[in-house]
Amino acid sequence: MRLCSLYHKIDTQSPVQALLGPVLHRAHDNLTKPTELLEDNPGKRILLLGNEAIARGVLEAGVRLVAVYPGTPSSEIGNNLTAIATRIPDFYFEFSTNEKVAMEVAGAAAVAGVRSMIACKGPGLNVAADPFLSLAYVGVRGGMVVVVADDPSMWSSQNENDSRYYALMANTPMLEPSDPVEAKSMLIEAFDISEKLELPVLYRTTTRVSHTRAPVELGPMRDRVSTVKFDKDPFRFVPIPSVAYKRHPWLLQQIEKARRISEETSLNYRIGEGELGIITSGVAFNYAIEAVSTLGLKAEILKLGMTHPLPERKISDFLQEHTKVVVVEELEPFLETQVRRVAQLNHIVVTILGKEQGYFPRTYEYTPRTVIEGLAKILNRNTPINWQQIDSKAEELSSLPSRPPLLCAGCPHRATYYAIRVATRGKAIYPSDIGCYTLSIAPPLETADILFDMGSSITTACGIARVTDQDVVATIGDSTFFASGLPGIVDAVYNRHPISVVVLDNRTTAMTGQQPHPGTGLTGMQEKVSPIDIVDVCKGLGVNYVRMVRPFDSMATLVSEIREMVAWVRENKQPAVLVSREPCALLAAIDRQQTGTPPHPYRVNSDLCNACKRCLHRLSCPAMYFDSETNKAVVDETLCNECGICAAVCPQGAINRED
Amino acid sequence: MRIVRNTVDVTNVALSGVGGQGVLTLAEVLAKAAMLDGHNVRVGEIHGMAQRGGHVLCTIRIGEHAKGPIIDPGTAHLVVGFEPIETLREIHLVAPNGCVIMSSHILLPVAVSMDQGTYPDHDAIMSATKRFTTNVIEFDAMELAEKAGSPNSLNMVMLGAIISTELVPVTKDSALQSLYDTVPQQFQQVNSAAFNLGFAQVGGMLRL
């Protein structure tokens, strides 16, 4: 019996630390061996992911401190740095609690006088926007780069917000690399620019920069200082109104200096020749080059690597030399608006074409085709490939059965969500949060009803509980709980919101590649420390009902735990927390592999299976399928992760574990 | 600077499969092999949400002027499908005279098991494929992977098959070297056996 109620002293250390082993191995389990990034061999070319190139750039730029919160498509930056951090002299790396924390840790290091960096995904910069805007006012003494990875097409994000607007709002310089080669080389320039201007530099990638592999040439590495002395200057670094009053004009003055850098830097350059002009930045530059050559056009491209402040003179010269200028950029018309502004200010007669007239879309990531079709429409030409014909042939294949991402075979969340549905008969409201578990939106689990951002499961539950009389059961992952669940718990306790919260504690940050978090007992520097237990945290914050359950121990117990919690909340009109603790199936599988544990997959006894399909219809486990020849359910033994939930839901008792 | 005509010398390979089948590993091994042979490469991949047992597409572009990672519809010289309907899902990428390598081993999507869709029969899959190209090489790569010693070596069966077509400017030696450089030592024997089985399988089919 491993159930722990708040009335019993629970042993938080041993079960937690017993689960720690596999966590040590996963955060850097990607293909390019992270140690290759340490090679002191300038001139050598290796195949690097854009994010790996940024990690290498950290070494070549002599960055002293890096703080990140993982988020796709930025995650591999941290994964690679944590794997090599202990082997870099005078280097500190941390997985911060969230992006705001990361911005403040890195920002303070840069104020103290060393080079520092933060990396996050687009929505992460939203979380960190408050300190970012203040940092621009007070400025930094060591170079600071803010890496933000946007996600056009929303491959792994809740929106495709265009983070470039933060450069305008904060008034910070911005660089946009277009491929893995630039991801490294421009990072080094970003630090130089930051130090020249004493401003943090926004460094914006997109999925197709961060997640493209290309040959990258290694450069020389730079040493870091061990420590610096913090020189006090409170009337610069404490932006009380009278200080901020003086810093804002300073900031505008710095951004004018930045504009001169933008005019002179080789990051903003022209390529090609022809009457047609194209202005582009980021990954879209590659598609523009490919489109020009595919269409056999004569065109000149102005490629912008520094996109804030823009080189207005360079742009104005370019506009004057071409009668027609096309702006090619993903997402919002960020450059396009500025280019139109430059034309108007300089009274230039030129046709500027882009998103405003509908030649290019504002949604989803671009492809060479997007640019070819846009240019073909502008120039009134045919595309070299008849894509309409291919599209209509592909349309006929639209009835293929879909294969969306799913909770893995053996995922403990499947057991918990199944139990939540059973216990509440599917009738409660289920606020969800950011992580693998948001996949429970799909049938048959269907336990995600509302989601805004990290941590919103708890707070949206509060809002819903106040204006409905329905039961509210929120689910949140362990890493997300630490990242931004705590203020929600405090709100629920203090304001007595009647909500049930299930913390899906799978001992890792699973979605982004198994990074540690404050509950795991491992740091970004690979140090073992005391994990912070979520049960203790909730009790400490004043939650009067906190219990812990192991979801694979007994389905009946799991269901009754949830039922009891919901009943308690209804009666006591205050929040309750149930921590459902079981390591991520991927960790468990790796653990088995590493310890050489022989597989004991589950198997369907076809004599007992009566083809009721309850296992398939209620669990949607990717390791199970229905064999239409034998008319029986089958467990694919190569995919089974041995959780046994199928055995628990089978009314015939037909599913058993192999000996 | 001049823009050179740059899309003619690039070999485009699209890999389509299911998360967990080793699609990304195959892309990395193939790209590194191309680099060993002195080529420029780009690999396009998607991580995170896109990997959780769902459909995975990975692109490899080999050639001096490969710039971006993306392959447009109708421009892939080779589409490699790890599973029949995953092949169909990306078949629109294949060039009209391009080639398709498809493993016939079926992984039933959960939707089918839940009675929310039907898996097309073999004839339907083949005739749909052949509407895009007639160069289709089909074999059971799972059977060969199991013969090599592990179903996890399926991706190296596919690598052997790719090299055997001679459609990609990568030598067999470089491909094997890259495999040894990437795969942990304890799995090298199984994976090189898988490579050789895939290579021989397609070699035999092309000679017929």
Q: What is the pLDDT of residue A16?
A: 34
The owner of tokens 């430059």 is A342
Q: Please answer whether residues A65 and A114 qualify as being in contact, where contact means their C-beta atoms are separated by less than 8 angstroms.
A: yes
Determine the distance in angstroms separating the CA of A137 from the nearest CA of chain B, rounded to an integer: 35
If you average pLDDT over residues A496-507, what whole number do you get?
A: 97
User: Does the residue B208 lie in any domain?
Assistant: no
Determine the distance in angstroms separating the CA of B61 from the nearest CA of chain A, rounded to an integer: 10
Closest alpha carbon to A578 in A591, A592, A567: A567
Of A32, A289, A408, the CB nearest to B53: A408
Residue contact B69–A626, C-beta within 8 A: no
User: Does the residue B182 lie in any domain?
Assistant: yes
Is the pLDDT reported for residue A144 higher than 50?
yes
Is the pLDDT reported for residue A590 higher than 90?
no
Q: Which of A129-133, A311-315, A593-597 has the lowest mean pLDDT?
A: A593-597
* Buried/exposed code over B31-58 (b: 16+ C-beta within 10 A; e: otherwise): bbbbbbbebbbbbbbbbbbbbbbbbbbb
* Buried/exposed code over A51-62 (b: 16+ C-beta within 10 A; e: otherwise): bbbbbbbbbbbb
- Distances in Å between the alpha carbon of A291 and those of A296, A328, B72? 8, 11, 11
User: Does the residue B63 lie in any domain?
Assistant: yes
Residues of B with CB below 8 A from A386's CB? Answer: 74
Q: Does A461 touch chain B (CB under 8 A)?
A: no
Q: Please answer whether residues B131 and B169 qualify as being in contact, where contact means their C-beta atoms are separated by less than 8 angstroms.
A: no
Is the pLDDT reported for residue B74 higher than 70?
yes
Q: Best mutation site among A302, A328, A403 for testing chain B: the one with the most B CBs within 10 Å? A: A403
Name the average pLDDT for chain B. 92
Determine the distance in angstroms separating the CA of A641 from the nearest CA of chain B, rounded to an integer: 13
Q: Please answer whether residues A356 and A343 qualify as being in contact, where contact means their C-beta atoms are separated by less than 8 angstroms.
A: no
Residue contact A156–B75, C-beta within 8 A: no
The owner of tokens 């047992």 is B53
Q: What CA–CA distance (Å, rounded) separates A376 from A384?
A: 9
Q: What CA–CA distance (Å, rounded) separates B161 from B14?
A: 14
If you average pLDDT over residues A121-142, what whole number do you get?
A: 98
Q: What CA–CA distance (Å, rounded) separates B85 from A241?
A: 63
Helices (H), A471-528: 478-480, 486-494
Q: Which of A388-392, A565-569, A623-627, B163-167 has the lowest mean pLDDT?
A: A623-627
User: Does the residue B2 lie in any domain?
Assistant: no
Given pLDDT bands bounded at 50, 70 and 90, which one contains residue A10?
A: very low
- Residue with the bigger pLDDT between A602 and B20: it is A602
Q: What is the pLDDT of residue A257?
A: 98
Half-sphere exposure of A255 (CA within 13 A, CB side): 23
Given pLDDT bands bounded at 50, 70 and 90, which one contains residue B50?
A: low
User: Does the residue B34 lie in any domain?
Assistant: yes
Residue contact B109–A286, C-beta within 8 A: no
Q: Which of residues 21-50 of A touch B (CB under 8 A)?
A: 31-32, 45, 47
Residue contact A406–B70, C-beta within 8 A: no
User: Does the residue B73 lie in any domain?
Assistant: yes
- Distances in Å between the alpha carbon of A215 and those of A52, A280, A415, B169, B184? 11, 23, 44, 17, 22
Give Dmax over CA atoms of chain B in angstroms: 58
Q: Which of residues 86-145 of A touch B (CB under 8 A)?
A: none
Residues of B with CB below 8 A from A31's CB? Answer: 24-25, 28, 182
* Buried/exposed code over A141-155 (b: 16+ C-beta within 10 A; e: otherwise): bbbbbbbbbbbbbbb
What would the two tokens of residue A238 be? Answer: 């404490």
Residue contact A405–B54, C-beta within 8 A: yes
Count of helix runs (H) and strand runs (E) in chain B: 8, 6
Determine the distance in angstroms separating the CA of B208 from the nearest CA of chain A, rounded to an integer: 30
- Please state which CATH number belongs to domain A599-657: 3.30.70.20
Determine the distance in angstroms separating the CA of B173 from the nearest CA of chain A, rounded to an integer: 19
Given pLDDT bands bounded at 50, 70 and 90, which one contains residue A253?
A: very high
CATH 3.40.50.970 assigned to domain A31-262? The reply is yes
Angle at A585 between CA A582 and CA A588, to 5 degrees: 85
Given pLDDT bands bounded at 50, 70 and 90, which one contains residue A659?
A: low
Q: Does A622 touch chain B (CB under 8 A)?
A: yes
User: Does the residue B4 lie in any domain?
Assistant: no
Contacts of A242 by beta carbon, 8 Å cutoff, 6+ apart: none
Residue contact A213–B28, C-beta within 8 A: yes
Q: What CA–CA distance (Å, rounded) separates A351 from A276?
A: 10
Residues of B with CB below 8 A from A436's CB? Answer: 52
Q: What is the pLDDT of residue A416?
A: 98
Is the pLDDT reported for residue A14 higher than 60?
no
User: Peptide bond before A309: cis, by omega within 30 degrees of 0?
Assistant: yes
Q: Please answer whether residues A70 and A238 qualify as being in contact, where contact means their C-beta atoms are separated by less than 8 angstroms.
A: no
Q: Best mutation site among A210, A397, A604 for testing chain B: the one with the most B CBs within 10 Å? A: A397
Residue contact B1–A272, C-beta within 8 A: yes
Determine the distance in angstroms separating the CA of B185 from the nearest CA of chain A, rounded to an integer: 14
Residues of B with CB below 8 A from A409's CB? Answer: 53
User: Does the residue B77 lie in any domain?
Assistant: yes
Determine the distance in angstroms separating the CA of B126 from the nearest CA of chain A, rounded to an integer: 12
Residue contact A296–B54, C-beta within 8 A: no
Of B31, B50, B117, the CB nearest to A47: B31
Please give the interface size between A and B, counted as residue pairs whose CB atoms are below 8 Å apart: 208
% of chain A at pLDDT higher than 90: 89
Q: What CA–CA distance (Å, rounded) separates A483 from B200?
A: 52
Is the pLDDT reported for residue A32 higher than 80?
no
Q: What is the pLDDT of residue A33?
A: 77
Residues of B with CB below 8 A from A515's CB? Answer: none
Residue contact A211–B65, C-beta within 8 A: no
Residue contact B53–A394, C-beta within 8 A: no
Q: Please answer whether residues B196 and B60 qualify as being in contact, where contact means their C-beta atoms are separated by less than 8 angstroms.
A: no
Closest alpha carbon to A538 in A572, A505, A584: A505
Q: What CA–CA distance (Å, rounded) separates A187 from A193?
A: 10
Residues of A with CB below 8 A from B111's CB? Answer: 401-403
Fold equal for A266-389 and A412-593: yes
Name the average pLDDT for chain A. 93
Q: What is the pLDDT of residue A4?
A: 35
% of chain A at pLDDT higher than 70: 95
Given pLDDT bands bounded at 50, 70 and 90, which one contains residue B114?
A: confident
| Eight-class DSSP state of A530 | P
Angle at A401 between CA A395 and CA A406, to 5 degrees: 125
Q: Where are the domains of chain A?
A: 31-262, 266-389, 412-593, 599-657
Q: Does A272 touch chain B (CB under 8 A)?
A: yes
If you average pLDDT over residues A115-119, what whole number do you get?
A: 98
Residues of A with CB below 8 A from B19's CB? Answer: 405
- Residue with the bigger pLDDT between B208 and A559: it is A559
Of A390, A401, A405, the CB nearest to B118: A401
Q: Does A382 touch chain B (CB under 8 A)?
A: no
What would the two tokens of residue A35 be? Answer: 């140690």
Angle at B102 between CA B55 and CA B188, to 5 degrees: 85
Determine the distance in angstroms separating the CA of B51 from the nearest CA of chain A, rounded to an integer: 7
Residues of A with CB below 8 A from B153's CB? Answer: none
Q: Does A212 touch chain B (CB under 8 A)?
A: yes
User: What domain range includes position B73?
Assistant: 11-203
Is the pLDDT reported for residue B47 higher than 90?
no
Q: What is the pLDDT of residue A26?
A: 40
Of B1, B25, B128, the CB nearest to A31: B25
CATH tag for A266-389 (out of 3.40.470.10, 3.40.50.920, 1.20.1080.10, 3.90.550.10) = 3.40.50.920
Directed axis angle between helix A129-138 and helix A241-264, to 10°? 80
- The pTM assigned to this predicted structure is 0.95
- Please state which CATH number belongs to domain A412-593: 3.40.50.970
Q: Tell me the pLDDT tens digit for each residue of A165-183.
A: 999 999 999 999 999 999 9
% of chain B at pLDDT higher than 90: 82
Q: What is the pLDDT of residue B208?
A: 59
Q: Does A620 touch chain B (CB under 8 A)?
A: yes
Q: What is the pLDDT of residue A8?
A: 32
Q: What CA–CA distance (Å, rounded) separates A320 from B135?
A: 51
ipTM surpassing 0.85: yes
Closest alpha carbon to A52 in A191, A213, A189, A223: A213
Number of domains in chain B: 1
Is the pLDDT reported for residue A336 higher than 60?
yes
Output the domain CATH number for residue B86: 3.40.920.10
Q: What is the pLDDT of residue A17?
A: 36
Residue contact B92–A393, C-beta within 8 A: yes
Q: Does A70 touch chain B (CB under 8 A)?
A: no
Q: What is the pLDDT of residue B46?
A: 80
Determine the distance in angstroms separating the CA of B30 from the nearest CA of chain A, rounded to an integer: 11
